Amino acid sequence: MLTPKQYKLLMFIDNFIKENGCCPSYEEMKEAVGIRSKSGIHALIEELTERDFIKKMPHKARALEVLKIPRFKPREIIEEEKKARQALRNAAVAIPLYGKIAAGTPIEALADESEQIAVPYEMVSRGNFYALTVEGESMIEAGILDGDTAVIRKCDTAENGQIVVALIDNAEATLKVWQKNKDEICLIPRNPAYEIRKFHPSRVKVQGILSGIIRKYH
């Protein structure tokens, strides 16, 4: 089993060579491993060479070849990676807040890039996102209430049953369940007091799919 610093250096050298086609400098190795002295890096290289993880290329300055990668990571490296992942999950990401969207009567969607809102990283880790403030009560049976912030993943297609931001006639936006039939689009509320709205497919565009809801309690 390699020590954490041996493992870090070996993996850094391997990844650097694959990405750049050459070996990293001693300064780059020092920064990657967290060692201040060149002699410390030299000692690690010697240790990895003696254990047949790397080989020095003859007649070339600081040229190394990675011979093998260990099957198992040092326990300390595993713990460091767990802490890093947990810190990332706990982190917040700022996304644009584009104003208000109706969950009852459609209103014009206003895209104001100047205002942002912080949301959990896990909610927006894959894709491009924006947020809208919900107005109205047409989606209350889906757990979406007036005043909630809807986190939306940008896309232009949706599957039947997904909750989407639908843009109607390039002017109005609404948050509804998407249902596409052969010759019409149905925008379905989740409140029996509201009617299903039907449109020709040419009149409706998907602007995004609901990823999550953020609610403030006063």
For the question of residue 5 being annotated catalytic, the response is no
Secondary-structure percent of the chain, ordered helix, strand, coil, rounded to 5: 30, 30, 40
Given the residues 5, 8, 138, 211, the one annotated as active site:
138
> pLDDT digits over 154-203, tens only?
999 999 999 999 989 887 888 999 999 989 999 999 999 999 999 999 99
Compute, in degrees rounded to 10, the torsion defined by CA atoms 78, 80, 82, 84: -150
Given the residues 100, 176, 180, 182, the one annotated as active site:
176
> pLDDT digits over 105-158, tens only?
444 444 555 678 888 777 777 788 888 889 889 999 999 999 899 999 999 999
The closest alpha carbon to 130, from 163, 98, 169, belongs to: 98
Ordered domains of the chain (ranges, CATH): 4-88 (1.10.10.10), 92-214 (2.10.109.10)
Contact 103, 174 (CB under 8 A): yes
- Averaged pLDDT score across all residues of the chain: 85
CA 66 to CA 53: how far, in whole Å?
Answer: 6
> pLDDT digits over 30-42, tens only?
998 888 888 999 9
CA 142 to CA 163: how far, in whole Å?
Answer: 9
pLDDT of residue 104: 54
Per-residue confidence band for 2, with pLDDT thresholds at 50, 70 and 90: confident
> pLDDT digits over 55-106, tens only?
988 766 668 989 999 888 888 888 888 877 776 666 778 888 877 776 554 4
For the question of residue 154 being annotated catalytic, the response is no
Indicate the angle between helix axes 26-33 and 38-50, nearest 10 degrees.
Answer: 90
Q: What is the DSSP string of 135-160?
A: ESSTTGGGT--TTPEEEEE--S---T
Instruction: Read off the pTM.
Output: 0.58
pLDDT of residue 165: 92
Supply angle C-alpha 85, 120, 149, rounded to 5: 165
